[in-house]
A and B are shown apart, each in its own frame.
Chain A
Amino acid sequence: MTALVLIETEGGQLRQAARSAVTAARSFGDVDALVIGEGAEAASHLEGVRKVLHVTNLNHALAEPVAALLAQLASQYSHILAAASATGKNILPRLAGLLDVQPISDVIAIRDDATFVRPIYAGNALATVQSRDAIRILTVRGSSFDPAKDGNTAAPIETITAPDDSKNVRFIRVELSQSDRPELEAARIVISGGKGLKDAANFDRLLAPIADKLGAAIGASRAAVDAGFAPNEMQVGQTGKVVAPDLYIAAGLSGAIQHLAGMKDSRVIVAINLDPEAPIFKVADYGIIGDLFEVLPALEKAL
């Protein structure tokens, strides 16, 4: 069996979630990697990759042409995977629609070639499902599979062309937030803020110095994003990013089930909240009941 992985890159670098998808794919057999635009060279060094298919006539991973290309390649593969990211979830279900396959999203464990575990109901239940499709289409959670490392050899890179099937969708622009901090899903430490931080200025003023000292990524609750304290890409939860760092610090967020869905697999959780009844304390290894405006500066000083 051979699996094909749609690899996501950013600025020619592989996203960590793509490395995790390669690890997941290796449980099926040989792995080919599909790279859109920049990053084919980086993908060729991934351990376990047999061959890189480099799509040279697309600059952006728009769903329409990429799904059409994957559909053309599909018959050579038993499994087609991508990270359960915005890109993976945009493209792979479209591919599944083209192939009459029921895709399986957010896979957290692979039991065998056809049997997969995925969370449902915001992670309040885990479903084990068995696919009867000939080609299995999966998006996998980065937090559940170790990122594939670079190996000592380089796989061959084959250039391919995506079909001209854009459905006249026009890419206009992308606005990526610039940050020197680690990628949220790849960070070893994450500090997340909620409504308790009161406004955007406090969110930044109180969390950023701690993140800088710890080399941490900054996350946010849905309430904090909705209130404009933080941009959408920082949201952790059922419909945002799913993270499982070594240390997750939750500051001023209550711990709604939708938020817990995105972080409860973290190794160590610290909760800081004024409300001793906040549900976040039920999942936290260490809790501090107190005023964020005193506790956070004190934490920064103590680090």
Chain B
Amino acid sequence: MTMKILVPVKRVLDYNIKPRVAADGNGVDTQGAKMSMNPFDEIALEEAVRLREKGSASEVVAVSIGPQAAQDVLRTAMAMGADRAILVKTDQLLEPLAVAKILKIIIEREQPGLISMGKQAIDDDMNATGQMLAAMLSWPQATFASKVTVADNCAEVIREIDGGTEVISVPLPAVITADLRLNEPRYASLPNIMKARKKPLETIEADSLGVDLTPHLTILKVEEPSERKAGVIVKDIEELVSKLKTEAKVLP
């Protein structure tokens, strides 16, 4: 099947690093911190690579929108199996709305049959880009996917919902957003990391796309949440239950 899958990947503060609010109170300090591919995007990419390996797709293209350094996550994406990559370069911090607008233009140019992307980025936790992109393209969407089966120009998707799971079938082209349990992404092997260096990476200046990137939200303040204080270690269940009844008053 000659279907192209496009996978947007975001460069974010590494999963294992504890975020610190920047001194200017306007964001989180990422200066010099380890940056990695958004974990949900890794899952989305893994799914795309598996679909190509199964013969359901012919090419996987990774796209990142961000500073020059975002090419590192694109190299990782290619080491994990993407065939080529596109960096849409900007030093501006973009909102999901602007990201969706840029992706729409790339998609119109690339004509993929499927967009596989993470359900949310672990930095702004907005969980919105995929849904907005689908709306702008007038495509169907299947969010929070935990299983994807592609056949007959449709994707059957099991979605994680609040009370359990839901199964829907979406005609392609469509946007699918990956939830945690869709798959377990592979590690890039050393030979594949070497090979990825030779794969094509195209750079496009975001400003050249004619998209209005003006933020719709102004960040007035970013602050640390109030910390909980550690309490006491009780010696046994009797003491615990007694404290829950008389001190915390959460048990009758």
**Which residues of A line the B interface, CB within 8 A?**
10, 15, 62-64, 67, 85-87, 89-98, 100-106, 115, 119-133, 167-177, 189, 214, 222, 225-226, 231-233, 238-239, 241, 246-247, 257, 264, 267-270, 276, 281-289, 295, 298-299, 301-303
Contact = CB atoms under 8 A, between A and B. Distances in A.
Contacts of B218: 129-130, 132
B164 A231 contact: yes
A242 B144 CA distance: 16
Nearest to B170: A169
A167 B221 CA distance: 40
Contacts, number: 256
For the complex, would chain A's binding face be called helix, strand, loop or mixed by DSSP majority? Answer: mixed
B23 interface: no
B231 A303 contact: no
Interface in B66-115: 95-97, 100
B220 A129 contact: yes
Contacts of A131: 216-217
Contacts of A133: 216
B141 interface: yes
Nearest to A270: B240
Contacts of B241: 299, 302-303
A125 B222 contact: yes
Given A98-B135, A130-B217, A122 B122 contact: yes
Contacts of B161: 86-87, 174, 233
Given A172-B156, A226-B180, A90 B162 contact: no
A46 B129 CA distance: 32
Contacts of B123: 120-121
A63 B141 contact: yes
A257 B122 CA distance: 12
Contacts of A96: 97, 128, 131-132, 135
A63 B127 CA distance: 14
A85 B143 CA distance: 12
B194 interface: no
A138 to B, nearest CB: 12
Nearest to A98: B135
A163 B123 CA distance: 36
Contacts of A97: 97, 100, 131-136
Contacts of A120: 28, 123-125, 222
B223 interface: yes
B238 interface: yes
Contact of A176 (B120, B156, B163, B230): B163
10 A-B pairs closest in CB distance: A97-B135, A97-B132, A93-B128, A93-B131, A285-B231, A102-B216, A167-B140, A121-B19, A172-B167, A176-B163
